[in-house]
Structure 1
Amino acid sequence: MRNEIRRARLAPNRRAWDLLSIAMSVMAADAAGRRSLSPDGWTREFEMEVAVAEPAFWNGTADLLADALSFLTTDRWQFRFIAGGAAPQPPAEVFRPPEGCVVLLSGGLDSLSGAIDLAASGERPVAISKTVRGDAEKQLGFASSIGGGLRHFQLNDNAAVPGTEDTSQRARSIIFLAFGVLVATALKPYRPGGSLPLYVCENGFIAINPPLTGSRIGSLSTRTVHPYFLARFQDVLDAAKLGVSIRTPYAEKTKGEMLKECADQDLLRALASSSTSCGRFQRYNYHHCGRCVPCQVRRAAFLAWGEEDPTDYVYEHLGRDDPDHAGFDDVRSVGMALAAAKGAGFDDWLGGALSWPGIEERDVLKDMLRRGLGELGALHAKYGVK
């Protein structure tokens, strides 16, 4: 990863390098800490000692970091920062890219649609990707196709730990954000303490990810771009005076609405089917399973968009009454959520999903979640899921 930054002749802010060191340490701990070995089979306790260039500053920010990560992973985190972490020496000839913002480009459908919108609006973002097996080539293809070709950095933390790794990966978004912050601070318009935009393009339904059933509460529903986590992460950036502002332009949109309202429909139609949404993509030999929650949200979005979905799903016919289709846990969970919202009422089903402090426009978000659940309902109705 440092080699990519060095070859590009970038000179990021020193605290952005420290933040990356912290994020990489968190990723390693998240992989090494096996949930199955914790007292309750899920919640872990981490005591982190991380070498940084400015330990005095980061020790004063430790509680902010711990709060953000505790929400993100539902674990307990403690940080102590020590001297010894050093940012790489800046290159002899520094290059400062002229672009005025960055956008996270994962290879997913939302980030694709969002990047297309940014380019169509006249913005010239730098695209930042976390290299993931199965998505690297499509990330390159998307970046080269949008706006005549975006400047693009593919980075990877390469976290490897001894023994069996935990697979829950609840902390994964922190490294993606840290990559974005690092490159943002190397851009020509960047100013410490400013507000250079870092765009996180994710639909609001998946961002909040309301627990579909009572058994999916807490970190059993991922919180990678939940508004509370992003707000706490922004607090860390502000405390560090890093001058990067996280923007979530689709926080009040469903996935279907993102697709319908995308500014370049022709380009989106051409690229959408090659994007990745599946939570088990690698497990199914780089094919969409078609039945996990992200796949169902994707399929519902295509349906709401009104465009044919040419994605090759392993489990296509959700209404088939067997354990692989309608009987699969995620399909049942969506079905139970739809039944609960229809029976006891939407507010009762939603429960405390929007109760976190600092979340604004709760009524707007509630209406968006209602529409998102409605998109899933239309998908289940199409396949006769009961």
Structure 2
Amino acid sequence: MRFVSGPRAALPVADEMSTPIVLFGRAASRDVASAGASAAATIRRRALLPDPAAWDLLAIALSVVVADGATKRAKSPDGWTREIRLDVALHDSKRWDLFADSLSSALAFLTTDRWQVAFRDGGVLPDAPKKPRRPDTDAIVLLSGGLDSLIGAIDLSAEGRRLFAVSQTVRGDADKQRRFAGIIGGGLEYISVNHNASTRRGLKETSQRSRSLIFLAFAVLAATATERYHDGDTIPLYVCENGFIAINPPLTYARIGSLSTRTAHPEFLARMQDILDGVGLRVMITNPYAEKTKGDMLRACLDQTLLGAEAAVSTSCGRFQRFNYTHCGRCLPCQIRRAAFVAWGREDLTKYVYTDLGRSDEDHAAFDDVRSVAMARLVVAEDGLDRWLGPTLGSPRITNKAALRAMLQRGVDELGRLHAKYGLA
């Protein structure tokens, strides 16, 4: 499927061969896709003035999110893998031309689809604020409302970092994102941005494996608007994710490709870093917890009192909205969360829809994700960790394989103790 994105005046008429995407503006009809008007308004309202290249990165990310959402996997030949062509109008397309293939490759790794990205002139920068301000912060942290990002912001603040927290507006998490930003370190510089992506009426693919790109793009915008960036410094961008879920090894042979997300995978983050470096964006992506399990993170958090008060408020569930903003208790992210609390040794006050994983029915012990964890543990126990991991750590970009292997073993052990608690050992 082919998409052409840019300002409304530079777009072709919609036809069967391509889908237009209006960037940083409103579409004239619900039958035309659009994204970014809300984000541009938020940045202008906060009087921020990002680097033009950061706006171009956001234009690319917005286009990707719309294309991802508008291309249904069920219509692809194998029911999953899609072929997506994307033509994006940028403010400075020549700056990005050399990295079109790199970006296509990064997206292919992220979503396991086939992407072909190209750039052209014709993009515009959103209106600048009349009186720009430059936040006096020295690092950006992604604040999703999740437990890992909560721990990351607590730790970085305790270490003396002056943080600019960036959230992507998500239904059900907005209040807790603001809450965390308000109480950590006496209150953080904070912005919540909505991509406001819409697709043609009736088109909506729910897998949305590309969403991490838009989150990174929002963070890069914020980083390039700071005083330190204006002065020529490189700004750290902290993506705080436990190493087990970042690597996200397929639990079974059936859970391959996009069934195992790669939001904070070191391979994807390294590819994005190469692109940022190549286009001259002085932002350094770092995951300080790449070698830690979620349990490790809870135990080592630098403010145990604050974490103890707020951990249960955070979100981890992959089906949070589906269950009326309540953790399901049985998906893989919920199991990892629950296992981390067991490792931490603190009572888990999170409300779960399905609590007793030991119940022998399809809602509990026989649920797909619970059985997949049990099968993974069995393979590790009988054949060893390396047999289970297979090529998971095979990327030449991964240079800390021994540390990651040890972390993955600890993660499997944490899940084992959770299952043992419910008689699933």
Asked whether 1:141 is paired with 2:179, we answer: yes
**Residue aligning to 1:346:** 385
- 1:27 counterpart residue number: 65
How many angstroms does 1:66 deviate by?
Answer: 0.6
The residue aligned with 1:130 is: 168
Does 2:106 match 1:50?
A: no
Match of 1:216, SS? coil
| CA deviation map 1:207-237 (0-9, x unaligned) | 0001100111222100011000000000110
Which residue is equivalent to 2:23? none
Distance 1:43 1:3 in 2: 35
Task: Give the letter for the 1:67 counterpart.
Answer: S
Amino acid corresponding to residue 87 of structure 1 in structure 2: L
Match of 1:190 among 225, 229, 234: 229
Change (3 A) 1:127 1:230: same
Q: Secondary structure at the match of 2:395?
A: coil
Q: Indicate the residue corresponding to 2:261 in structure 1.
A: 222
Equivalent pair of 2:71/2:203 in contact (CA under 8 Å): no
The answer to whether the 8 Å contact 1:109/1:277 transfers is yes
> Which of 272, 283, 301 pairs up with 1:244?
283
- Unaligned 5+ segments in structure 2 are 1-38
Greater RCO (CA < 8 Å, at least 6 residues apart) = 1
1:96 aligns to what? 134
Instruction: Report the alpha carbon displacement of residue 87 of structure 1 after superposing the two structures with TM.
Output: 1.2
1:204–1:252 Cα contact (<8 Å) kept: yes
| SS across alignment from 2:237 | strand
**Alignment partner of 1:180 is 2:219:** yes
Q: CA deviation at 1:92?
A: 2.4
Residue 194 of structure 1: how far off its partner (Å): 4.3
Is 2:120 the partner of 1:82? Answer: yes
Structure 2 residue 370 is the aligned partner of structure 1 residue 328: no
What one-letter code is carried by the residue in structure 2 that aligns with 1:283?
Answer: R
Which position in structure 2 is the counterpart of 1:268? 307
1:191: Cα distance to partner? 4.7
Take 1:229 and 1:375, find their aligned partners in 2: how far apart are those partners?
A: 26
TM-score, normalised to structure 2, is: 0.90
Shift of residue 55, structure 1, vs aligned partner? 1.2
Classify 1:237/1:309 alpha carbon distance in 2 versus 1 (closer, same or farther; 3 Å).
same
Size of the aligned set, in residue pairs, is 386
Aligned-pair identity in percent equals 60
- Structure-1 residue corresponding to 2:146: 108
How far apart in 2 are the matches of 1:336 and 1:192? 53
Matching of residue 202 in structure 1 with residue 217 in structure 2: no
Residues 193, 238 of structure 1: 8 Å contact kept: no
Return 246-255 or 355-364, whichever deviates more: 355-364
Q: Deviations over 1:247-302 (max 9, x none)?
A: 11000000000000000000001110010000000000000000000000000000
Matches of 1:372 and 1:257, distance apart in 2: 9
CA–CA distance in 2 between the matches of 1:97 and 1:145?
A: 19
Letter in 2 for 1:362: K
The 1-side partners of 2:406 and 2:280 are apart by 35
CA deviation string 1:151-189 (max 9, x = no partner): 110001011112230111110100000000001000000
CA contact (8 A) 2:86 2:118 kept: yes
C-alpha separation in 1, matches of 2:132 and 2:318: 39
Partner of 1:318: 357
Matched, 1:359 2:398: yes
Alignment partner, residue 206 of structure 2: 167
2-side partners of 1:72 and 1:150: how far apart? 30
Deviations 1:5-62 (A, max 9, x none): 1111111000000000000000000000100000111110111011100112222210
Per-residue deviation at 1:370? 0.3
Q: Distance in 1 between matches of 2:115 and 2:406?
A: 34
Instruction: Tell me, in whole angstroms, the C-alpha distance in 1 between the residues paired with 2:244 and 2:232.
Output: 31
- Counterpart of 1:52 in structure 2: which amino acid? L
The answer (yes or no) to whether the contact 2:85–2:117 under 8 Å persists in 1 is yes
- CA apart distance, 1:356: 1.5
2:412 corresponds to:
373
Q: Secondary structure at the match of 2:61?
A: helix
Q: Choose the corresponding residue for 1:39, options 77, 82, 89.
A: 77
Q: Give the equivalent residue in structure 2 for 1:292.
A: 331
User: How far apart, in 2, do the equivalents of 1:139 and 1:209 lie?
Assistant: 24
Separation of aligned partners in 1, 2:258 and 2:132: 42
CA contact (8 A) 1:53 1:83 kept: yes
- Secondary structure of 1:189 counterpart: helix
Where do 4+ consecutive residues of structure 1 move more than 6 Å? none
Q: Name the Cα RMSD after superposition.
A: 1.0
Q: Residues of 2 paired with 1:95 and 1:75: CA distance?
A: 40
Task: Tell me, in whole angstroms, the C-alpha distance in 2 between the residues paired with 1:42 and 1:255.
Answer: 30
Q: Counterparts of 2:218 and 2:396 in 1: how far apart (Å)?
A: 27
Residues 290, 316 of structure 1: 8 Å contact kept: yes
Once the two structures are TM-superposed, the CA of residue 357 in structure 1 deviates from its matched residue by 2.2
Counterpart contact for 1:193–1:242, Cα < 8 Å: no
Shift of 1:193: 7.0
When residues 69 and 36 of structure 1 are mapped into structure 2, their CA distance, relative to the original with a 3 A threshold, is same
Deviation at 1:384, TM superposition (A): 0.7
SS at match of 2:285: strand
**CA distance in 2: counterparts of 1:126 and 1:192, whole angstroms:** 17
Q: Check whether the contact 1:131–1:155 (CA below 8 A) recurs between aligned residues.
A: yes
The aligned amino acid for 1:344 is D
